Amino acid sequence: MKNIKRSFSVIALLLAAAMLISSCGQLPKNRIQGRWMDSTGKQGYEFLEDGRAKIIFFKMNLSDSGLLSSLADLVGIGSDILDGSYDGAYTMDAKEKTLTVTYTIFRNTKTSTYNYEFVGSGLMLSDLETGKSVTYFLQPETNTTL
């Protein structure tokens, strides 16, 4: 009888530990993976598991503008979405709660470091240099272009 009680105690302890660990949520690097866009849907970031990133400076639906759509047809862009983005990389420091993004634009390498915070369904990034904060929202999964 003592062995049965001891076994139940061990099982209960293991279950409690598992629940405690699972309640802590995902690690920040796992949680940040995906495409995050600002409230306008025109600027954002895409973070992959392997540390690659895409920095999206503007995203425009050309079919929303008759003139731009006509220009796109004229030059043969072949897509209704104009996506001004650059490939880069990112690193996270979970202890300091910082995210560093590096990318090259027009032969110039740019590095930005942010404090990050997951707020509800958003990701708030606060630029350490300027102090400006922007909240981004995780977008439904799509095929990545990285």
pLDDT of residue 84: 73
- Contact (CB, 8 A) for 139 and 35: yes
Q: What is the pLDDT of residues 2-44, one digit of tens each?
A: 666 665 554 544 444 444 343 344 577 789 999 999 998 889 9
Q: What is the pLDDT of residues 88-133, one digit of tens each?
A: 999 999 999 999 999 988 788 999 999 999 999 899 999 999 999 9
| Choice between 77 and 118, residue whose per-residue pLDDT is larger | 118
User: Has residue 47 got a pLDDT over 70?
Assistant: yes
**Domain segments of the chain as ranges:** 27-138
- Choose the CATH number for 27-138 among 1.10.287, 2.40.128, 1.10.3470, 3.30.70: 2.40.128
Beta strand 122-127 with 133-138 is: antiparallel
E runs forming strands in 5-80: 34-37, 44-47, 52-61
Full-model pTM: 0.65
